[in-house]
Amino acid sequence: MGRRLRRCRELWGESTLVEARPALRIIEDAIYAPPDGAGRWGVFAGGQRIAGAGDGTSASLPPPEPAPEATYLFVGALAPHYGHFIVDTLARLWPLLVWEGPRPRLLAFTPVPAGGADYAAAILGQLGVRPEDVSCFYQPMRLPRLLVPDPAFKEQAFVHRVFGDLCRAVGRSFWDGERLERPVYLSKTRLSSGIARIANEEAIVEELDRRGVEIVSPETLPFADQVRLFSTHRIVMGSTGSAFHTSAFAAPGRRLIGLNWMPRLHANFALIDGVSGHAAKYYFPVGTRYAAEGDTFHFGWLVRDPKQVAAELLARAEAFDRLDALDAEAEGLLATALDRAGDLAAELRDRIARHLRTATERLRP
């Protein structure tokens, strides 16, 4: 299998699957306060803040205006970043999965994200919510009836079973398409900004393309096509990032191979894989180095020998169903080699020490 890729065996964070649904509070006569520029905002019940940030009670607010008559569902801020929209915003929309009757209005602290990405409107639309069904007030408001759900997903901590049900309900109508045996690689080479990227990914992409792997820039595809891509390809590969979160909406049982920037895997990926029923393997390229990536990415990472990394990725895709055994065997061989190297080093130290003692004794008068 090669020695350039090492399986990620430890998590950065926790990964707990919760079978029960999150709590849901129903509040009559709630007060909503938008962000005030000082980091204070929230939802109040009985004068006390029950969601939001900052100090104080509703007594410190200006007199609230009456909101339009409706049932409101609190969703917090509508995250403008794709990955955070999934794990933060969508995590509060689980009541819509079992909602009966007219949809509630969503109460948000920010408007629906715009700017060319269709994911927010597409995800909300699959749940029967239009952008105009989102209320974002800019002054304190009194709400006649407010539902406050606990989130079904908490980053690097836990996921509720209902989150997986919700994501599949969003993506199910996009699962159609011809089943493709050809592996696909999700490339960040055309991504203009983000958290992290492989600084020399072009070399990986070129080698994979030469070997017959389909190369896709997911950010150039509509949300529906991204879900369809995960649902129809036998193997999806790429570097870990928000694009892998799309697998939450795909048909269960996807096969994923991710390149990770450090030996420990961010727990969000394990949480999504666990609740989605995916078989995912993540690898750290041995010898990775890190570098600044200007103003558009937080950091970059360089893999050693990108052509070899590409070759090992493809080899793992071809042997996917045997990877657990193959990786365990490789790790066992590595551990044996390290133990043997340690034994040889200790033996060498003992020999040197003996020779030094002998030489010292001979030099004594």
Find, among 69, 77, 46, 76, the residue nearest to 143 by Cα: 69
Go through the domains of the chain in sequence order and give each one's CATH number. 5-14+173-327 (3.40.50), 22-151 (no CATH)
CA distances from residue 94 to 123, 153, 245 in whole angstroms, order as listed? 12, 10, 17
The pLDDT averaged over each successive group of 10 residues in the chain (365 residues) is 86 97 94 79 87 76 92 90 93 94 90 75 93 91 94 97 98 94 95 86 98 96 96 96 96 96 96 96 95 77 95 96 92 54 51 52 53
Which residues, 6+ apart, have CB-to-CB distance to 47 below 8 Å? 57, 58, 59
The confidence score (pLDDT) of residue 362 equals 54
Count of CB atoms situated within 10 Å of the CB of 114: 10
Indicate the DSSP class of residue 6: E
Report the pLDDT value the prediction gives residue 338, as an integer from 0 to 100: 40
For position 143, what pLDDT does the model report? 95
The neighbouring-strand residues paired with 149 are 24
Buried b (16+ CB within 10 A) or exposed e, 337-356: eeeeeeeeeeeeeeeeeeee
pLDDT at 361 (0 to 100): 55
